[in-house]
Amino acid sequence: MGISRAEAIERIESQRDAIREHIEKYERYVEDYDKEYALKTIRNCQGRIEHIKDRCSSELDYSYEDDWRP
């Protein structure tokens, strides 16, 4: 079942907010295990963004958060 463009945008923006937050944490963290935790969260959010885009029939804008890597 598809989702509307408005709903997809709202969901994606929520995921991008979380990604931006964890990018800041990743850059601030010193310990490797903390950095890995932030990266895991980022990857999970990126997976959700991809899933949302797949469920929406409209073209959705790209943003750097969608595939950010350190």
Full 3-state SS string of 25-58 = HHHHCCCHHHHHHHHHHHHHHHHHHHHHHHHECC
Mean pLDDT taken over the chain:
96
User: Is the distance from CB of 42 to CB of 22 less than 8 angstroms?
Assistant: yes
Per residue in 35-48, pLDDT (tens digit) is 999 999 999 999 99
Per residue in 6-31, pLDDT (tens digit) is 999 999 999 999 999 999 999 999 99
Q: What is the pTM of this model?
A: 0.92
* pLDDT score, position 1: 63
